[in-house]
A and B are shown apart, each in its own frame.
Chain A
Amino acid sequence: MASSTTSGDRPATGPIPGAAARARQSDVVIGLTGAGIGALTTVMGPYLSFRPNRIVDGLSQTALEAFGPLGWLALALWALSGLVALTRPRAWTGAARAALGSSAVLTLLAAAGADAASFAAAQGAAARTSFGASFYLALLAAFLVSYSASAETPGRLGRAVIALFPVIALVALAATGALAELGIVREWMLTRTTFVRELRRHLFYALGATGGAIALGIPMGVLSARSRHAETAIMGSLNLGQVFPALAFVGIMMPILGALGDRFATVRALGISGIGWAPVFVVLLVYALFPVTRNTLVAIRQIDPAVLDTARGMGMSRWRSLFEVEMPLAFPVVLAGVRIALVQSTAGAILAAFVGGGGLGTIMFFGLEQTSMDLVLVGVLPIVALALVFDAGLRVVERMAGGSEESYA
């Protein structure tokens, strides 16, 4: 077919007609949606539930019912952020909206901490104050407000402040002890020692599998890019591994690794056996290999052949060309693969708990056995937080390395 780009379709001046107006409109719509959801969560739905102990059903309240004036304050903050979204954007409006949204959530959080403290004082140590659906929706609302505010803010510094302010404020709030009587914090305090141990093991799985995937996947990717036969064999088997259901995969690996351990002393010496960490680790490694290998392969394939031709023409050897030309050019895309592998392994490491391999999933199971959602969250929230931090951190590195925003996400 003829060329698919239509240079004549648009006026050459400016990027896409109306793009700025559309982006602006999108900021307003998302900002208003966030403020609206935030306001609704304040007046409707269960925000906090108070139970005398873990087992008993407790009393659920909306934010307004639970907090009175502070609830009204939060409502006002949400409404204000909506109003600011409607005004003409200036240098400060984005930051203001983000601050208003975050403040609303932080106000409710502090109020919840205070309520939890007085409830605990009245009911004793077994009392649990937990968040309900409205609280989580309020978090979503704050995210939407910050997201659109960030898009409206020009400078990189301003955007960093918008992203970090709520985190820092939350840490500061927690440091004052204002949140200590909330159910989730209490459960965390009770399981602190276990928590640290399981967090370490969780990181071992996530980072170990990703490290292994980097060490093995990049050479495999390079090899695949060089030879069609290697590509068929490597990508074919990795693709097959992706399809295996995780739990069944682990289950199948257990007897295989067990047999290997029984047969070979060196394997046994590495601590590899049919139970414990090894089966889960191997499965996570196979899953993690796919994005790293695929991205390496794709990254090298998409390098302009003219560049490689010139490198060769100037007398570079194959290895020199690989290390001085191909790898640097491929780096951002490979890094995106590593990021995907790391996020995937962080979430996937929860699997270890199914086979007694430890990790934060163990705490989730404790919570499930004891029907304590707060304890489940003590296990789950750090997993999500870790994944998000890894994701955001590596994205920053990618951008510095010159990768595009959505490279093979």
Chain B
Amino acid sequence: MIELRNVTKRYDTTVAVDDVTLTVPDGELTILLGPSGCGKTTLLRTINRMVELDAGEVLIDGQSIRSTPPEVLRRHIGYAIQSVGLFPHMTVRRNIATVPRLLGWDAVRIEARVTELLSLVGLDPASYADKRPAELSGGEAQRIGVARALAADPPVLLMDEPFGALDPINRERLQREFASLHRRLGKTVVFVTHDIEEAVLLGDRIVLMREGQIVQTGSPEELWRGPEHQFVRDFFGDEFGLRILSRHRIADLEPGATPQGASARVHLDTNLRDALAIMVTESVERVTILDGERVVGGLSFCDIVTQVRGSL
């Protein structure tokens, strides 16, 4: 668990982070979201002491981060940034092995870990380990960046717009892969972004910030259903509901009374937003739900619009 207590950071005359108190639960993916200049990156960087605090304190598992020298602290916290920052003069293998080498792992253990991580991020170890960063595409570089951040198996991962520089197709693919990676590994992740879609898709919890302060904290659904502030509504906009739909599969809905037999068919794993899109594309109000080849029920436009609000 990461606890930030009354954290404040000033630059010259501007206050980047203004008396922020926040708790990040273990194993959750917490998104720091807000317009540029809202202090989300600065707040993230206080956690691994890339930015030193002017006031307040940060605790990880109850222990103040000030009790550990910054270098030692950082070796036990994964860190991935938008510009990736792969070391251009080192191979992919050496890049991934950076923190394990700093921690003094032996060569055999490092090699095994590199192979494991490359497979984990979906790259073939045999063909990628000896490449140089210049030979990688943007998406590949960012995968290596994530692998490098995970190298020493840190319990906490800090990510600063890691997919921000990618093209939309690659970005979406990496977001989905990362979401499933997170479900498997159960790391505590703090993730900075200004991309609402990304925040809603990935976040267990969203911390919405403005001008150095937290506006509201909660799951995407909580923010959607109960915005405490006009800013929350304005920031997420009219498409918020649609985006929320993308978080949920048809399987998550309570079975309704909608009859089967519509011509359009969707799978049980389809998310609600895609199901809606199919209805619009096919110009139908109802679709048949399949589980494998088996028909298990039906879903109507009304189900999504009305039932969703209650059950989510």
Contact = CB atoms under 8 A, between A and B. Distances in A.
Interface in B86-100: 86, 88
Contacts of B138: 1-2
B131 to A, nearest CB: 12
A1 B88 contact: yes
A17 B141 contact: no
Contacts of A7: 36, 82
B27 interface: no
Given A11-B37, A12-B36, A13-B37, A4 B83 contact: yes
A16 to B, nearest CB: 9
Contacts of B142: 2
Nearest to A10: B41
Nearest to A9: B41
Interface in B1-58: 11-14, 16, 36-37, 39, 41-42
B14 A13 contact: yes
Interface string A1-29: 11111111111111001111100000000
B161 A11 contact: no
Interface size class of B (residues with CB under 8 A): 20 to 34
B213 to A, nearest CB: 13
B160 A11 contact: no
Nearest to A6: B83
Contacts of A9: 41, 81, 83, 160
Contacts of B13: 14
B192 interface: yes
A291 to B, nearest CB: 30
Given A1-B133, A2-B141, A2-B165, A17 B84 contact: no
Contacts of B84: 1-2
B92 to A, nearest CB: 12
Nearest to B41: A8
Given A9-B41, A11-B37, A11-B42, A20 B12 contact: yes
Contact of B81 (A6, A10, A13, A19): A6
Contact of A11 (B11, B164, B165): B11
Nearest to A12: B37
A173 to B, nearest CB: 42
Nearest to B136: A1
A13 B14 CA distance: 8
B280 interface: no
A6 B142 CA distance: 14
Nearest to B88: A1
Contacts, number: 64
Nearest to B164: A8
Label chain A's interface by main secondary structure.
Answer: loop
B196 interface: no
A7 B166 CA distance: 14
B11 A8 contact: no
Contact of A1 (B11, B36, B37, B134): B134
Interface in B143-178: 160-161, 164-166
A18 B166 CA distance: 30
Nearest to B133: A1
B160 A8 contact: yes
Indicate the member of A2, A9, A17 with the most B CB atoms within 10 Å. A2
A2 B83 contact: yes
A14 B11 contact: yes
B59 to A, nearest CB: 24
A21 B11 CA distance: 9
Contacts of A10: 41
Contacts of A17: 11-12, 16
B12 A11 contact: no
B39 A8 contact: no
A20 B160 CA distance: 26
Contacts of A12: 36-37
A12 to B, nearest CB: 3
B14 A14 contact: yes
Nearest to B45: A9
Indicate the member of A11, A12, A14, A21 with the most B CB atoms within 10 Å. A11
Given A2-B138, A7-B36, A14 B12 contact: yes
Interface of B: 11-14, 16, 36-37, 39, 41-42, 81-84, 86, 88, 133-134, 136, 138, 141-142, 160-161, 164-166, 192, 194
Interface of A: 1-14, 17-21
7 contacts: A1-B138, A2-B142, A4-B83, A6-B82, A6-B160, A10-B41, A11-B14
Given A1-B138, A14-B11, 19 more contacts: A1-B84, A1-B86, A1-B88, A2-B83, A2-B165, A2-B166, A3-B82, A6-B83, A7-B36, A8-B36, A8-B41, A8-B81, A8-B82, A8-B161, A8-B164, A9-B83, A11-B16, A14-B13, A14-B14
Enumerate the 10 nearest inter-chain pairs by beta-carbon distance, A residue then B residue, closest first. A12-B37, A17-B11, A2-B165, A6-B83, A11-B16, A3-B165, A12-B36, A8-B161, A2-B138, A8-B41
